[in-house]
Chains A and B, each alone.
Chain A
Amino acid sequence: MVSVGLALVGGAGGFFQEGAVRASVSPFDPLVPDSVLVLSDGPTLVTERAVGLPVLGIRVSAPLDPPWPGAARVLVDQALERSRPLADALGSALRGGLEAGRIVYHVTGDLRDADELAWIARRLAGPPVPDATREPLEREAQRMDALAETAQGRMIVELEGRLSPSYVEGTVPVTTFNDVRELWRRSFARDRIRVFVLGDIPMPLLLAELSRFGAPPVGEARYADPGISGSRKVGLADTPLYAWSAAVFSLGPSGDAAVLAAVEALKVGLRETSVPRATLRLHRASDGAPDWIGITARALRKRDADEALGAALALMTEEGLGPWWWEGVALARNGVVAQATTPDGWLTLADRYFSPEGGGWIRGALDRLESLRRRDLDPLLEVFRATLLHPRIDA
């Protein structure tokens, strides 16, 4: 048994003697985890003892810090590639990626394969290996080239570039193995990892399997972002068939209940907006910049594209979005509820609404969605006005 210090979160707070397991957030509500354990020099372990659930789901999540989405994609790619054979042999579901500014891995499989599933989770969070990283690095370079060739892709490139202090317009980062290893060392420091476990597994087993992995802890220290090591210039290819117009903006944190409702309302509003000579699309701008939303307009003539974008942005007022607001609230709630009923979705939402101080979690998000008022739209529109950008995505 690993000797760990445990903190009660959600109750009185503070440290208890080593080895004690006292934390309990809510043993009755399945939308609030049973317990949150902050292990000394180890991960934060969030557990929900789901009696009768035939599967065990584990989510490992780490902050994207420094904000290098390209390096994170390579890290995830190589980790999944190394773990997939075992996961496939077990018939377990495996996925990974960037979500809401965090690097995440999920593995879900039969409860009786708990040992192997925990082993896969630890392996996913392990250090990158040079040999296994070569191909993912090539794939990332190809991905950036492919993105730079499309209008929507350029929007993502620009947004991801702006995350770095050393960003130069018209360039894309060149990720190296050292960047990937450095990202892992910082993001997957043991005391920065969150592990979410959903399943009928006793706590001692969890502690034995999942209390010690990742890089050495960094404590509370945070690094200044040195910027990714290299970058290269990309040219904007001509898009002779179409003219484009684009806008990117934020409404606030992507998981916020009001933002979820506003995005759904915007989707409905865009569907109802008549732009006969153009095509409008709503984008989640980038995995690495989750709080940003993009709208592109495509038309044969630049003037039509600009007009269509103008019509779309006209929705971003109280009068424009108001008629769709309540439908947006209902759709957002439907989405959260449906997601919470699947093990994978529950783990995702538990991380998104991680509330170490208690009172939040998935139940809190649903309560907030139910209590939304029209006036909750106003602060979002202020954020919109303050963040609106028009990236140049056309040659």
Chain B
Amino acid sequence: MAAIGGMTVRRSRRRGPALWILTLVLLGGLPEADAQARVGAHTEAKSAGVRGFVSAQDSPLVIVRDWSPGAAVVMALPAPASGDFLDDFVARVSDRALLAAIRERTIGRGVEVTLTRDGAARYFAATSLSEDAEGMFRDVDGVFRDLLPSRHVMAAAGAVRRDLEFRAGSPKMRFEAIFQALLHGRDPPEEASLPAAWADVNATAARILAKAPAAMWGPPARVVVLGARASSSSVGGDGEAAQRKEDPQGPGVRAPGRLVGDPGRRARTAGHMAPGGASPVGSGPPPTLPGAPPWLGRSPVPRGGVVGQTGVLGGLFGSPVFQEPVRTEIVREVVSAWVGLAYQLPPRTTLFQAHFLRLVLEGYLELHKDPFLYELASEIDAGGRLVFRFSVATEEIAAWESRLEEGISALRIPEESPSVGQLFRRARSLWSQRLSTPAGTGATAAQVLLRGGSGADATAVVRSLAELPAFSEVEAIAREIRLAVRVVYGAPPTPDARP
């Protein structure tokens, strides 16, 4: 405690980020040249209260935020590439065992561990105080490098199998199997129960136990997010001085407009959706269904209102806007239908732009929400597609399919849609909230790394909230967006769909 000008000031006695980062560099050995700009200790990108340190090749990306009481270690593994249920089962068992192992390794350290999944990755986030980040990272990283304890794997295999058996046969699960197959360019599976291999818990466990997670799934994307303020005072005995060295403005300069960063920076460093020339599924010709089982209905064009909608849109813009792929329709008597739509984004789209577009469209659907919509989810998948899933009353399927397309149309001509400006604002707020926690920041940065982006790219995305994408950018993306997959499970029977 110190008295400064009549104020009581308490200084933290915790270790600082500079020491921390140095440790990480030493852990990783000497930096080596790397095509992805992971070279050279401490390439620093600083703006908007966020600094990204990219250090040695084997080091995690360390993001230091001016203010944060907590730190997060985020390890992200890619989603299984096949989209196959068996691979998904193995991934779920492995994830559950990993989670248990991380919790066991970090018990007593004050670490909360969570697992989230989306279409692109599985994110393991360990959260603790900034001063405990170093130990937390060592523990979590160690779990990925070691073989998993067999008791965790066996327990996880049993639990996941019980869970899947309970849900097997549900409309949602059947819809998901078909949607995943089409998203991954495969034939839809037979409508049967679970593959027999699922029952073999021992074989699954043996596969997982054979290799450490980092060897089985490939090295995880590793991101550490920590706060500067809690830990700045221990470096050289003067926290403020140390902080000033990192931040020429000094910690006392806290203008509210500081969130707005260098306007040109994003353009120079933004990570792109499909790096390395990857050819995401769906960018080619529409998926075909050779040998599709007879229960799968197929219609070359959407039914009902969607036909007219597609035609109108094509006419408006002078070219067919939605080149409709085969619409996969599974006729089932269900209370609520499941609809899956995947749109291919232009390859130049950045991850930030893609998420922003997703949030804007989600907002459009929320705006037109009715009691017939039961569930709505959206994501950017590993193939760089904008994926929507919703559950609706069967009689409202056509209306909800076309509603999303109406939203895309509204973005193409924003001047004619007064709500678009408000939707931008809403999306901005939701994105800010995602980046407001260390775990959210870490998961977002890890997503960029997993897609092949560099540390600088990841830091740029984290700083992205300094600027909104311009209307014109979103408008251009919306104009080029293309429907890649459409699946409807539970459509009411119609004469053309009946066998």
Of the listed residues B68, B359, B363, the one surrounded by the most CB atoms of chain A closer than 10 A to its CB is B68
Per the 8 Å Cβ criterion, residues 106-125 of A in contact with B are 108-114
Residue A53 CB within 8 A of the other chain: yes
Decide: A26 near B433, CB < 8 A? Known: A51-B251, A112-B428.
no
Q: How far is the CB of B58 from chain A (nearest CB, A)?
A: 26
The reply to whether B256 and A201 contact each other, CB–CB distance below 8 Å, is: yes
Inter-chain CA distance A295–B372, complex, in Å, is 39
Decide: A30 near B230, CB < 8 A? Known: A24-B7, A109-B432, A109-B433.
yes
Contacts of A30 in B (CB 8 A): 67-69, 227, 229-230
Q: How far is the CB of A238 from chain B (nearest CB, A)?
A: 31
Q: B395-428 vs A: 1/0 string, CB under 8 Å?
A: 0000000000000000000000000001001111
Residue A382 CB within 8 A of the other chain: no
User: A91: which of B428, B435, B438 is its contact (CB, 8 Å)?
Assistant: B428
Inter-chain CA distance A52–B47, complex, in Å, is 9
Contacts of B227 in A (CB 8 A): 30
Per the 8 Å Cβ criterion, residues 76-90 of A in contact with B are 88-90
User: B363: which of A32, A50, A91 is its contact (CB, 8 Å)?
Assistant: A91
Of the listed residues B6, B239, B437, B439, the one surrounded by the most CB atoms of chain A closer than 10 A to its CB is B437
Contacts of A366 in B (CB 8 A): 110, 129
Decide: A337 near B66, CB < 8 A? Known: A91-B427, A330-B110.
no
Q: How far is the CB of A121 from chain B (nearest CB, A)?
A: 15
Looking at the complex, which of A162-170, A225-233, A300-308, A338-346 is the stretch in contact with chain B?
Answer: A338-346
Per the 8 Å Cβ criterion, residues 199-253 of B in contact with A are 227, 229-230, 232-233, 239, 251
The reply to whether A52 and B12 contact each other, CB–CB distance below 8 Å, is: no
Q: A19-55 vs B: 1/0 string, CB under 8 Å?
A: 0001011111111100000000000000001111111
Inter-chain CA distance A30–B70, complex, in Å, is 9
Residue A12 CB within 8 A of the other chain: yes
The reply to whether A51 and B49 contact each other, CB–CB distance below 8 Å, is: yes
Decide: A22 near B229, CB < 8 A? Known: A52-B50, A202-B256, A343-B436.
no
The reply to whether B258 and A32 contact each other, CB–CB distance below 8 Å, is: no
The reply to whether B430 and A26 contact each other, CB–CB distance below 8 Å, is: no
Residue A379 CB within 8 A of the other chain: no
Residue B279 CB within 8 A of the other chain: no
Of the listed residues B67, B232, B439, the one surrounded by the most CB atoms of chain A closer than 10 A to its CB is B67
The reply to whether A333 and B259 contact each other, CB–CB distance below 8 Å, is: no
Of the listed residues A28, A31, A200, the one surrounded by the most CB atoms of chain B closer than 10 A to its CB is A28
Decide: A53 near B429, CB < 8 A? Known: A28-B12, A334-B110.
no
The reply to whether B7 and A333 contact each other, CB–CB distance below 8 Å, is: no
Q: How far is the CB of A53 from chain B (nearest CB, A)?
A: 5
Interface size on A, residues (CB 8 A): 53
The reply to whether B70 and A10 contact each other, CB–CB distance below 8 Å, is: no
Inter-chain CA distance A52–B437, complex, in Å, is 11
- With both beta carbons as reference points, the residue of chain B lying nearest to A93 in the complex is identified as B433
The reply to whether B230 and A54 contact each other, CB–CB distance below 8 Å, is: no
Inter-chain CA distance A31–B425, complex, in Å, is 30
User: A340: which of B8, B66, B69, B425 is its contact (CB, 8 Å)?
Assistant: B69
The reply to whether A27 and B430 contact each other, CB–CB distance below 8 Å, is: no
Q: How many A-B residue pairs have CB under 8 A?
A: 160
Contacts of B68 in A (CB 8 A): 30, 53, 341
Q: B432-460 vs A: 1/0 string, CB under 8 Å?
A: 11011111000000000000000000000
The reply to whether B436 and A55 contact each other, CB–CB distance below 8 Å, is: yes
Residue B10 CB within 8 A of the other chain: yes
Per the 8 Å Cβ criterion, residues 1-29 of A in contact with B are 10-12, 22, 24-29
Decide: A50 near B70, CB < 8 A? Known: A91-B363, A93-B433, A338-B127.
no
Decide: A53 near B230, CB < 8 A? Known: A91-B430, A330-B110, A334-B112.
no
- With both beta carbons as reference points, the residue of chain B lying nearest to A327 in the complex is identified as B107
User: A54: which of B10, B233, B422, B435 is its contact (CB, 8 Å)?
Assistant: B435
Contacts of A11 in B (CB 8 A): 6-8
- With both beta carbons as reference points, the residue of chain A lying nearest to B71 in the complex is identified as A341
Q: How far is the CB of B47 from chain A (nearest CB, A)?
A: 9
Closest CB pairs A-B (n = 8): A52-B49, A341-B70, A91-B426, A338-B112, A91-B429, A52-B66, A30-B69, A54-B432
A interface list, Cβ under 8 A from B: 10-12, 22, 24-32, 49-55, 88-93, 108-114, 200-202, 205, 326-327, 330, 333-335, 337-338, 340-343, 346, 358, 362, 366
Q: Contacts A30-B227, A337-B110 given; 10 further ones with Cβ under 8 A?
A: A22-B6, A28-B232, A51-B49, A53-B67, A91-B359, A91-B429, A91-B433, A110-B465, A114-B256, A341-B438
Question: Can you offer 10 A-B residue contacts whose CB atoms are under 8 A?
Answer: A26-B8, A52-B66, A53-B68, A54-B432, A55-B433, A110-B428, A111-B256, A112-B259, A337-B112, A338-B127
